[in-house]
Amino acid sequence: MATPVYKRVLLKLSGEALMGTDQYGINRAAIERMVADVVEAKALGVEMAIVIGGGNIFRGIAPGAKGMDRATADYMGMLATVMNSLALADAIKQAGLTPRVMSAIGIDQVVESYVRPKALQYLEEGKVVVFAAGTGNPFFTTDTAAALRGAEMGAEIVLKATKVDGVYTADPMRDANAQRYPTITFDEAIEKHLEVMDAAAFALCRDQKLPIKIFSILKQGALKRILEGEDEGTLVHM
């Protein structure tokens, strides 16, 4: 068995990744495929925490939220991440791993409240910890939650799973000549105005010297290849 490059990681999944080919909601086949990647990663002995967005569910009610107070809409989005976290945890459990969902907002009848020492204990016990409800505050994205929880958990890297296999010189969907950056520094990403993560999340990772790896969740086995040190995605570092 290969020795993983990282011992503890924070995986950031977008809610949209759970949609598969659907317009919104949860596609079971899509979530099971992602969990298969998590199972592969855990087999290497890696401690893993996950933050997931809620855009896939919130997208279905977006027209009704038009014109809504921003804070209210953000709280609705947090609840969407709880729903996604429960679905993800269920798939993780059925795959043979032990998940623990911890929420940044009080919803104790459904999931545990986030408590840092307990989350660290779960990671050390080999459980997969799924952090729900973002940071628990409006105006902050789940990208920021990933950076925050990654720093709190002592993760060695934030792995941001997207639909594109890294950061490119241009939009690879529109420009066939776009080149992928294997690595890039935080300062270079800022200078080039590359949208790696939202500004608050990016600044937190930079300040905490917490590297970010951008990779495609659509590429089967990409997560395992990253953990084994292969050239996959784009590493953003100091």
Q: Is 97 annotated as a binding residue?
A: no
Sheet hosting strand 157-162, strand order edge to edge? 112-113, 99-103, 128-132, 47-52, 8-13, 157-162, 212-216, 234-237, 183-185
Q: Does the annotation list 138 as a binding residue?
A: yes
User: By the 8 A CB rule, do 165 and 215 touch?
Assistant: yes
Q: Is 74 labelled as part of a ligand binding site?
A: yes
Residue 95's contacts (CB-CB under 8 Å, 6 or more residues apart) are 32, 35, 36, 38, 39
Residue 136 marked in a binding site: yes
Give the pair of three-digit tokens for residue 212: 């970010």
Q: Is 171 annotated as a binding residue?
A: yes
Asked whether residue 98 is marked as a ligand-binding residue, the answer is no
State yes or no: 84 annotated in a binding site: no
Tell me: is residue 175 an annotated ligand-binding position.
no
Q: Are 219 and 165 in contact (CB under 8 A)?
A: yes
Confirm or deny that 53 is annotated as ligand binding: no
Q: Tell me if 141 is assigned to a ligand binding site.
A: yes
Is 13 annotated as belonging to a binding site? yes
Would the annotation count 7 as a binding residue? no
| Ligand-binding site membership of 96 (annotated) | no
126 is annotated as contributing to ligand binding: no
Consult the annotation and say whether 185 binds a ligand: no
Minimal CA–CA distance to 231: which of 177, 183, 186, 190?
A: 183
- Confirm whether residue 20 is marked as ligand binding: no
The answer to whether the annotation marks 142 as part of a ligand binding site is yes
Residue in the block written with tokens 């020795």: 3
Please enumerate in sequence order all residues whose Cβ is within 8 A of that of 124, keeping only pairs 6 or more positions apart, or say none. 47
Do 90 and 55 contact (CB within 8 A), yes or no? Answer: no
* Residue 135 marked in a binding site: yes
On whether 12 is known to bind a ligand per the annotation, the reply is yes
Question: H or E segment at 90?
Answer: helix 70-94
Contact (CB, 8 A) for 128 and 50: yes
Which residues lie closer than 8 Å to 203 by C-beta, 6 or more apart?
Answer: none
Q: Please enumerate, by residue number, every residue annotated as part of a binding site.
A: 12-15, 54-55, 59, 74, 135-142, 162, 168, 171
Annotated binding site for ATP: 12-15, 55, 59, 162, 168, 171
* Residue ranges of the binding site for UMP: 54, 74, 135-142
